[in-house]
Chains A and B, each alone.
Chain A
Amino acid sequence: MSTVTADAAAAAQPVLEVTDLRKHYGTTVAVDGISFTVGRGEIVGLLGPNGAGKTTTINMVLGLLEPSAGTIRIDGVDLARQRSRALARCNFAAVYAALPGNLTVRQNLRWFGMIYDVPELTRRIDALLERLDLVRFADTRCGLLSSGEQSRVGLAKAMLNDPVLLLLDEPTASLDPATAEDLRGLIRGIADQGRGGILWTSHNMHEVQAVCDRVLFLADGRILLEGDPRTLPAEHGVGSLDALFIRLARRPLTEGTP
């Protein structure tokens, strides 16, 4: 295979490939055989009501939870077989996973950067502090920052290793509208570079519509619906993504998809 062909094949390969993923606890089914991909340059929204299986799915992709069945490939690397190699290509930010509050922003970024084996780490940290408007907090302990500032530090950590797969669990939940808008622009910019893809969860449907290229609706551990968030509502006879979400969330699974 020529170099050009190999590069083209790598570019076409999804950054995340989830196949028939299942997780059950005894008789309780949390995720019920879902399959999806995230492509390069793509932002995929993972939507669903509380308990739909979103966080369970993200935890499995992060290697924090072992699937009962199915496979997860990150940038073509099988997570179950090559955990460290797969996770080196990935990173995440979540409101419920703040960085240690007793270390400064710079210290947290440094030791996490070393774990991810980031080259030219000092330069990378300085660039991220600048990019996320955190320079003035660089030597402040994370625990002293507001929740919005901590979210930005979490994002800086998530971008340290320039991951090909970025998982963002409600990344703008604690941010004011202006900062949230800036952040959406930043993340959209990362996706538009075309090197990596993003899996994004949010309960803010306006945000999802503005940012995501594609959405997956989860309920009771299954993907009920998949498509473009801008056209899906009309395709299903409702006026907005909010209305579609409510309809799907309240609809018993046995009734099938709308």
Chain B
Amino acid sequence: MKPRRVAAVLLRQFYLMRASPTRLVPAFAWSAIDIVLWGFITRYLATLSDQGPVLALGLLGAVLLWNFFGRIMHGVTTAFFEDIWSRNLMNLFATPLAISEYVTGLVLTSLATGAIALSVMLALAAGAFGLSFAAYGLAFVPFLLILLLFGVGLGILASAIVLRLGPASEWLIWPIPALLSPFAAVFYPLSILPGWMQAIAHLLPPAYVFEGMRAIVAGQPFPLRTLAVAAALAIAQVLAAYAFFVYIHRGAVRSGLLARYSAESVG
């Protein structure tokens, strides 16, 4: 892997954002709105019972982490879509750029935009609502890393789907975080879900993260085993998603889909 080629992919995205700062707005706007909305909800809930402050921290933490995952996932897909929108796949894949270099560039772009979103959310949660995530202690870091990996994996998978199904399939990708959220048990314990949903939830690293987060807020010990399972799942999913992208790309090269990838839908 040549770092200069990875840097080229990253530089291209930087040029786009510098030329059109509106591209950066989605990176933090929706997350900021969610933090404000849930900040007031939790402030209201805090007035209802003695458990209010604990509940508030749990809910706002969940909102922040879930938004972070969504930003990471969409960070990867949006960077990929830039090449779809500008019909650049032919120029790109006729170069010495390896798939691993390209995907690494997309992921680094996503990390940069995800970091901006996270900073805005943390600043808002602390500044406007006086909530400190220090309560989670060091556990906050592995929580973030696991969600980051899951977001990366899902972003790569989603990009592969659009590469295979064509630009028109983009609409399938945007609602993925919303579709997953009931299974990820972001705002409630896993035990609330019916059995079949719990079975699906156990395949999703975020479900373990949010269970772990609730355990810490409730004063229980650090859920090391839960997080280890989540981390292993997330790593496996990133590797599987990358293998899927490579498989789809090879298929596109074999079938000719890549060379004629400019139609609205390539079926």
Contact = CB atoms under 8 A, between A and B. Distances in A.
Contact of B20 (A100, A102, A116): A102
Contact of B8 (A64, A100, A104, A112): A112
Interface residues of A, number: 35
B14 to A, nearest CB: 9
B91 A116 contact: no
B252 to A, nearest CB: 9
Contacts of B5: 114-115, 117
Interface string A79-102: 000011101100010101111111
Contacts, number: 88
Given A99-B88, A114-B7, A117-B5, A87 B19 contact: no
A110 B11 contact: yes
Interface in B95-109: 95-98
Interface string B240-266: 000000000010011110110010000
B19 A64 contact: no
Interface residues of B, number: 32
Contact of A62 (B11, B16, B86, B94): B94
Contacts of A63: 93-94, 253
Contacts of A83: 96, 98
A146 interface: no
Contacts of A157: 91
A92 B82 CA distance: 21
Main secondary structure of the interface of B (DSSP, over half): helix
A171 to B, nearest CB: 15
Contacts of B95: 87, 112, 115-116
A69 to B, nearest CB: 13
A59 B259 contact: yes
A98 to B, nearest CB: 7
B90 A64 contact: yes
A66 interface: yes
Contacts of A103: 12, 15-16, 19
Contact of B4 (A55, A98, A114): A114
A102 B86 CA distance: 8
Nearest to B94: A62
B12 A92 contact: no
B2 interface: yes
Contacts of A107: 12, 15
B258 A65 contact: yes
B249 to A, nearest CB: 11
Contact of A65 (B15, B82, B96, B256): B256
A101 B83 CA distance: 11
Interface string B1-41: 01011011101100110011000000000000000000000
B11 A111 contact: yes
Contacts of A111: 8-9, 11-12, 15
User: Could you say which of B8, B12, B95 has the most chain A C-beta atoms within 10 Å of its C-beta?
Assistant: B95
Nearest to B83: A100
B4 A117 contact: yes
A85 B19 CA distance: 33
A59 B252 CA distance: 12
Nearest to A84: B96
A158 to B, nearest CB: 10
Interface of B: 2, 4-5, 7-9, 11-12, 15-16, 19-20, 82, 86-88, 90-91, 93-98, 250, 253-256, 258-259, 262
28 contacts: A55-B259, A56-B256, A64-B90, A64-B93, A65-B258, A65-B259, A83-B98, A87-B95, A97-B91, A99-B91, A100-B12, A100-B82, A100-B86, A103-B15, A103-B16, A104-B15, A107-B12, A111-B8, A111-B9, A112-B8, A114-B4, A114-B5, A114-B8, A115-B5, A115-B96, A117-B2, A117-B4, A117-B96
4 A-B pairs with the lowest CB-CB distances in the bound complex, closest first: A114-B8, A100-B86, A62-B94, A84-B96
